[in-house]
Chain A
Amino acid sequence: MTRHRSWQPWLVLFFSLGIFTVAHADDLPNLSLQTKQGGLHLNELRGQVVYLDFWASWCVPCRKSFPWMNDMHQRYSKDGLKIVAINLDKEVNLAKQFLTEYPANFTVAYDPEGLSAEKFKVQAMPSSYLIDRQGKLHSTHLGFKEKDTAAMEAAIKSLLAK
């Protein structure tokens, strides 16, 4: 996988050529997100395993996913897991109210316009996308169910081990 090891120069080249950009990047659109810490670009997270979550304050299963994501963050962030939970509330204040009840230790980004969800063609709330260290989509997950967490954790571990 030498192609991926040296992805940055390649990407620069593709961008400068103005072609192949769509064909490359393993079909994953890049995202520029607003977080508390400022801007965050998805493609800058290469090298880490990214768990990208789309959520909203009104979404019931999202409440259940937060403690689990905190758990994953606590256990695997040192190994290179990066959890980014993109909030899609139209009113950012509702998201902040939610976070007082369900605090997040991982990175929360805000996209009230829903552009990121549109780019990722989000099918359900919540939806999560597991991306490997090479920036390649490993799996997507619709909804949040307790019974699926073991498999999701196993997938995270296997990607971290690569």
Chain B
Amino acid sequence: MQLKTKPKPIRKTLAMATATLLGHVTHIGTANAESNPWEIDTAVMSYQENGRVSVLEPVIRMREDKGDDKFFTLKLVVDTLSGASPNGAIPTNSPQTFSGPSGSSSYPIAANTVPLDPNFHDTRYAINAEWEQPAGDARHSIYGLSFSTETDYQSLGASATYNFDFNNKNTTLTTGASFSGDSVQPLGGKPVAFAVVPASTGGGGGGGEDEGGGGGETSFHVNKRVVDLLLGVTQVMGRKDLIQLNFNYGKESGYLNDPYKLLSVVDNTGALITAVAPDSPYIYEKRPDSRNRTALYSRWSHQFGSDVLRLSYRYYSDSWGIRSNTLDMHYRLELGERFFLEPHLRSYKQTAADFYHTSLLNTEVATLDYASADYRLADMTTKTVGLKFGWLVGKHSEAGIRVETITQQAQPSRVIGIQSQQDLLPTVKATMVQLNYRFLF
């Protein structure tokens, strides 16, 4: 009893015609049939800061549908960074000279210029594997392993996530935990916190260790541990609404300093001051060796007609005194059946860490427990404006290009005397361009 079917070409034409009439029928998202078990997602991102670092980052993510709701995902990332990064010292009205992190080279900084260490060249390789499987009725688990390596940093991590569905899958409870053990090998040894940075000898100076005058911490290998716990609820709010609320607690411990960041020591006129004649007016930073952080995160996806709005908000707070608010918005505007435009806006604002000091008074050095001049720990805002153009190339492939500008503005914790003549923390502008291509086979 075969069903009577019209000749195929006509049926196909009709189907295509009706699909066109309906519009916006995107199949790629769900078209992972047994004939196409692999989903390959590739991207290359270029990130360029004005006069500072640039990053080129290709990524490939391969996801295999193993059948029966089991999935294997492998992600490979290469992250090539080069350029100049602020070393933490303040700009002054006279030229400055710094020894490089490895002690092998020194670099001069012109007067009235933010000191940037030009020696940042590193390539990071990261691999991430995930296994997802059902864990009984209405629940599934995801296990992940990650490893990354760069010249002075290795990270090995594991994670597990369990999802429980309730209420006809209208509610999902998520619990997750991750651990990572990181190893840091600062170039030139681990600098002694608060030790005076050796004066630059024009190219031959030693590294931070030993000569720092502190306790002779010559270890070339220090550790950092990161634990994260997550509890979340995802709720279907209607046919066109999905909302998620997550609570995330994290604890970092071990070596949390940035070994390449300095602090400028100044007198009460704001000018650099050297304690002992041959030494430099710069000291190494020191951060607490633990950090507890909590984040409350919520996101919402809503469909308007065929367009989709995605909104997320995060409140973050940690034991270093940093509080931040992040608001993120994507609006996917469908342009016919095959194209879309997606504007992206992101607004971020953080308060400074308790121990953030743009510069230190020489009288403070002995009294403070911790200090860092890393602008990323300052009062800061980040604004992102971006646009993505997406193209559904075929039934099983999709391409995209994304361009974003990122503007960061940090505020000095204090401006002492003549420092008011300087732009201590100039605006950082960056441009990001990303190409995407995704296909099934």
Count of B interface residues, CB-CB < 8 Å: 25
Is B33 in contact with A64, judged by CB distance below 8 angstroms?
Answer: yes
Q: Across the A-B interface, how many residue pairs have beta carbons closer than 8 Å? A: 51
Which B residue sits closest to A97, measured CB to CB?
A: B15
Choose one: A91, A100, A124, A147; the contact of B12 (CB below 8 Å).
A100
| A77 with B1, Cβ < 8 A, contacts A91-B22, A94-B25, A100-B11 known | yes
> With a CB–CB cut-off of 8 A, which chain B residues contact A145?
67-69
Enumerate B322-372 residues with CB–CB distance to A below 8 Å: none
> Whole-angstrom distance between the alpha carbons of A103 and B11 in the complex?
11
User: Cβ of A146 < 8 Å from any Cβ of B?
Assistant: yes
- Is B420's CB within 8 Å of the partner chain A? no
Q: A64-B33, A96-B18 are in contact. Are A147 and B2 (CB under 8 A)?
A: no
Are A103 and B5 interface neighbours, CB within 8 A? yes
Do the beta carbons of A60 and B2 come within 8 Å of each other?
Answer: no
Contact B3 A60 (CB under 8 A): no
Chain B residues whose CB sits within 8 angstroms of the CB of A58 once the complex forms: 30
A110 and B267 alpha carbons, distance in the complex (Å): 83
Give B166-219 interface residues, CB cut-off 8 Å to A. Answer: 168-169
The verdict on A146 contacting B67 (CB below 8 Å), with A60-B33, A63-B34, A100-B11 known, is yes
Q: Of A96, A105, A106, which contacts B15 at CB under 8 A?
A: A96
What is the interface size of chain A, counting residues whose CB is below 8 A from a CB of the partner? Answer: 26
CA distance A94 to B11 in the complex (A): 13
Q: How many angstroms from the CA of A96 to the CA of B5 in the assembled complex?
A: 11
A137 interface hit (Cβ, 8 Å):
no
Complex contacts, B67 vs chain A, CB 8 Å: 64, 145-146
A124 surroundings in chain B (CB, below 8 A): 169
Known A77-B1, A100-B12: A93·B34 in contact at CB below 8 Å: no
Per-residue CB proximity of B9-34 to A under 8 Å, as 1/0?
A: 00110111011011001000010111
Residues of B contacting A94 in the complex (Cβ-Cβ under 8 angstroms):
22, 25
Closest Cβ of chain B: how far from A53's Cβ, in Å? 15
CB distance from A120 to the nearest CB of B (A): 14
Residues on the B chain within 8 Å of A93, using CB? 15, 18-19, 21-22
Interface residue ranges of A36-71 to B (CB < 8 Å): 36-37, 58-60, 63-64
* A30: interface (CB < 8 Å): no
Q: Which A residues are in CB contact (< 8 Å) with B68?
A: 145-147
Chain B residue numbers with a CB within 8 Å of A59 are: 30
Contact present for B2 and A64 (CB under 8 Å):
no
CB-based nearest B residue for A144: B68
In angstroms, how far is the closest chain A Cβ from the Cβ of B72?
A: 16
A21 within 8 A of B: no
Residues 70 to 108 of chain A near chain B (Cβ within 8 Å)? 77, 91, 93-94, 96-97, 100, 103-108
Chain A: which residue is nearest B65 at the CB level? A60
Closest chain B residue to A37, Cβ basis: B3
Whether B34 and A64, one on each chain, are in contact in the complex, defined by CB atoms closer than 8 angstroms, is yes
Contact of B19 with A60 in the complex, beta carbons under 8 Å: no
A34 CB–B CB distance under 8 Å: no
Chain B residues near A147 (CB-CB < 8 A) = 68
Which residues from A are CB-within-8-Å of B21? 93
* Residues of chain A lying within 8 A (CB to CB) of residue B4: 36
A92 to chain B minimum Cβ distance, whole angstroms, is 9
Name which residue of chain B comes closest to A74, CB basis: B2
Q: Contact string, A99-128, partner B, CB cutoff 8 A, digits 1/0?
A: 010011111100000000000000110000
Min CB gap A66→B, angstroms = 10
Do B18 and A105 touch across chains, with their CB atoms under 8 A apart? no
Residue of A63, A91, A104, A123 touching B168 (CB-CB under 8 A): A123
Q: In chain A, what residue has the closest Cβ to B25?
A: A94
Chain B residues contacting A143 (CB-CB under 8 Å) are 69
Contact A105 B12, CB 8 Å, known A64-B34, A94-B25: no
Residue of A nearest to B8 (CB): A100
Scan residues 147-161 of chain A and give those whose CB is less than 8 A from a CB of chain B.
147
B3, B8, B30, B69: the one contacting A104 at CB < 8 Å is B3
* A96–B30 alpha-carbon span in the complex (Å): 17
With most chain A CB atoms within 10 A of its CB, the pick from B1, B2, B19, B32 is B1
Instruction: Find out whether the CB atom of B19 lies under 8 angstroms from the CB atom of A97.
Output: yes
CA distance A100 to B7 in the complex (A): 11
Cα A30 to Cα B386 in complex, Å, equals 55
CA distance A79 to B156 in the complex (A): 59
CA distance A124 to B12 in the complex (A): 29
The docked-state distance in angstroms from the alpha carbon of A145 to that of B65 is 12
State how many angstroms separate the Cβ of B25 from the closest Cβ of chain A.
7
User: B18 contacts which chain A residues (CB < 8 A)?
Assistant: 93, 96-97
Residues of the A chain whose Cβ atoms lie less than 8 Å from the Cβ of B25: 94, 97
Closest beta carbon of chain B to A82's beta carbon, Å: 9
Q: How far, in Å, is A5 (CB) from chain B's closest CB?
A: 25
Of the candidates A36, A100, A106, the one having the most CB atoms from chain B within 10 angstroms of its own CB is A100
Min CB distance A130 to B, Å, is 19
Supply 15 further A-B pairs (C-beta < 8 A) apart from A64-B33, A146-B67. A36-B4, A37-B3, A58-B30, A59-B30, A60-B33, A93-B15, A93-B22, A94-B22, A97-B25, A100-B12, A100-B15, A104-B3, A108-B3, A145-B68, A145-B69
- The list of the 8 closest CB pairs from A to B, nearest first, reads A93-B18, A97-B15, A145-B68, A63-B33, A100-B15, A146-B67, A60-B30, A64-B34
